[in-house]
C-alpha cells in the first residue's frame, strides 16, 4: 500500500519557477485567509496542495470595502472585499512564523495603490521565508491601484519591473480578463521580469436588488468567480500560453475549477499548475478529489503530468 501511495504522490509533483510542488493545485488568494482557514476543517491537509497563496497584502492595514461584500450568483460568486488585511509588517512578523513551511509552499499576494507601494511590499516579503510572490495588478474591487494597473500594459510592466528590482524570489503576475489584449499584457510582464503568470483574476460584475433598486454590493461592482467564468478563463489561458511557452514561463490556470476534469482542461490548455478557490467554500475536500482524478487520468492514459501540459498545442 505504501508503494502505491508513493507512486500517487510522485505522479503529481510539478516544477514551478524552480520550486517543487507536491501537487499542481494552488489555493487562491482570498479564499483561505492567511492559510489558517481550512486547517480547522477536520480531515483537510495542506499536504494535498502544491502551494497556498496568502490573502492580498498592502503596505499599511486596510479595512476593505463597505458591506455587502459577497453575493452568490448562478454558478458563481461576486465579491468586493477590498483587500482587507493587517498590513505587510504584521503579516511578516506575526503570521508567517505560525505557518508550517514543511507542509506546502506559501506565496505572498502583493498589492498596492502605487508602483512604489508594490515595490516596498515586495521588498518586505523578500526578507521573509515566503517561497514566491504573486503580484496582484488585476483586482477589480478596489478604487485605487488594482485593475487600473492590470488593464494597462505600460502600467503592468512598470509594476513588475519595480517588484523585480526588489526581490530575487519568483514573481507571479496575476492577469486581468477585463482588458483588450491579454496576450500583449502577458508579453510586457514577461519582458519586465515576471517568472510566471496567474490567468485569470475575477471578471467584473454586479448585482441589483430589485426591491430597493440599488446595487447589492456596497462597492457597486465586484469580482465574479466560480464555474460561470470557466470558459472565459480557459480561453485566456490558451491565448497566453503560446507566448508563455516561448519564454518558458509557467502559468497558474484558474477560474471555476471544481473537479479533476476542470483541472485537466486547464492543463491541456497550457497551465502548469491550477488554482482552486470558490469551490472550496462548498467543498473543502475538493483538492483531494481533484488530485485523485488527475492521477487516475494519467494512469489510464499512461502519461506523465508534464506531457499533459499544453498538449492542446501539440495536437494541432
**Higher model confidence: residue 30 or residue 198?**
198
**Distance of alpha carbon 124 from alpha carbon 126, whole angstroms:** 5
**Distance of alpha carbon 136 from alpha carbon 315, whole angstroms:** 33
Calculate mean pLDDT across residues 13-18: 96
Topology given in CATH for the domain delimited by 2-63+85-203+227-314: TIM Barrel (3.20.20)
pLDDT in tens, 89-137: 999 999 999 999 998 999 999 999 999 999 999 999 999 999 999 999 9
**Higher model confidence: residue 151 or residue 270?**
270
Assess contact for 54 and 108: CB atoms under 8 A.
yes
For the chain, give the mean pLDDT: 91
Residue 2 has pLDDT above 70, yes or no: no
Q: Where are the domains of the chain?
A: 2-63+85-203+227-314
Residue 144 has pLDDT above 70, yes or no: no
Q: What is the pLDDT of residue 151?
A: 79
**Higher model confidence: residue 8 or residue 54?**
54
Q: How confident is the model at residue 310 (pLDDT cuts 50, 70, 90)?
A: confident
Calculate mean pLDDT across residues 249-269: 98
Active site residues: 139
Q: How confident is the model at residue 9 (pLDDT cuts 50, 70, 90)?
A: very low
Establish whether the linkage from the previous residue to 68 is cis, with ω within 30° of 0: yes
Quickly list DSSP for 67-107. Answer: SP-EEEETTEEEE-----B--HHHIIIIIGGGS-TTTSEEE
Assess contact for 123 and 168: CB atoms under 8 A.
no
Q: How confident is the model at residue 314 (pLDDT cuts 50, 70, 90)?
A: low
Q: What is the pLDDT of residue 148?
A: 63
Inter-axis angle of helices 260-269 and 230-246, nearest 10:
40
**Least confident span in 26-35, 121-130, 289-298, 305-314:** 305-314
**Higher model confidence: residue 43 or residue 233?**
233
Q: Which has the closest alpha carbon to 77: 232, 225, 176?
A: 225
Q: What is the pLDDT of residue 203?
A: 94
Q: What is the pLDDT of residue 139?
A: 65
Q: Give the predicted TM-score (pTM) of the model.
A: 0.93
**Least confident span in 31-45, 139-153, 161-175, 240-254:** 139-153
Amino acid at each position: 500500500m505504501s508503494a502505491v501511495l508513493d507512486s500517487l504522490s510522485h505522479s503529481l509533483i510539478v516544477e514551478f519557477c524552480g520550486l517543487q510542488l507536491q501537487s499542481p493545485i494552488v489555493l487562491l488568494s482570498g479564499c483561505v485567509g492567511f492559510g489558517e482557514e481550512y486547517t480547522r476543517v477536520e480531515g483537510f491537509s495542506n499536504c494535498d496542495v502544491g502551494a497556498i497563496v496568502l490573502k492580498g497584502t498592502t503596505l499599511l492595514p486596510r479595512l476593505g470595502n463597505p458591506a455587502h461584500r459577497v453575493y452568490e450568483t448562478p454558478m458563481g460568486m461576486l465579491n468586493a472585499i477590498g483587500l482587507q488585511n493587517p498590513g505587510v509588517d504584521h503579516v511578516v512578523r506575526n503570521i508567517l512564523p505560525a505557518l508550517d513551511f514543511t507542509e506546502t509552499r506559501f506565496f505572498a499576494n502583493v498589492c498596492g495603490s502605487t508602483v512604489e507601494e508594490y515595490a516596498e511590499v515586495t521588498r518586505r516579503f523578500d526578507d521573509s521565508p515566503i517561497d514566491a510572490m504573486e503580484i496582484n495588478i488585476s483586482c477589480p474591487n478596489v478604487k485605487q491601484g488594482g485593475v487600473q494597473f492590470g488593464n494597462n500594459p505600460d502600467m503592468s510592466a512598470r509594476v513588475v519591473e519595480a517588484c523585480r528590482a526588489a526581490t530575487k524570489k519568483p514573481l507571479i503576475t496575476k492577469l486581468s480578463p477585463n482588458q483588450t489584449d491579454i496576450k500583449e499584457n502577458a508579453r510586457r510582464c514577461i519582458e519586465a521580469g515576471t517568472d510566471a503568470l496567474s490567468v485569470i483574476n475575477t471578471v467584473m460584475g454586479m448585482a441589483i436588488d430589485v426591491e430597493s433598486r440599488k446595487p447589492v454590493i456596497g462597492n457597486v461592482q465586484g469580482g465574479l468567480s466560480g464555474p460561470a467564468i470557466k470558459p472565459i478563463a480557459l480561453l485566456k489561458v490558451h491565448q497566453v500560453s503560446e507566448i508563455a511557452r516561448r519564454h518558458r514561463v509557467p502559468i497558474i490556470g484558474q477560474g471555476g475549477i471544481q473537479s479533476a476534469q476542470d483541472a485537466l482542461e486547464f492543463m491541456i490548455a497550457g497551465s502548469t499548475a491550477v488554482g482552486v478557490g470558490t469551490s472550496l467554500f462548498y467543498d473543502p475536500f475538493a483538492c483531494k478529489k481533484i488530485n485523485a482524478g488527475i492521477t487516475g487520468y494519467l494512469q489510464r492514459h499512461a502519461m506523465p503530468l508534464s506531457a499533459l501540459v499544453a498538449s492542446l498545442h501539440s495536437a494541432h
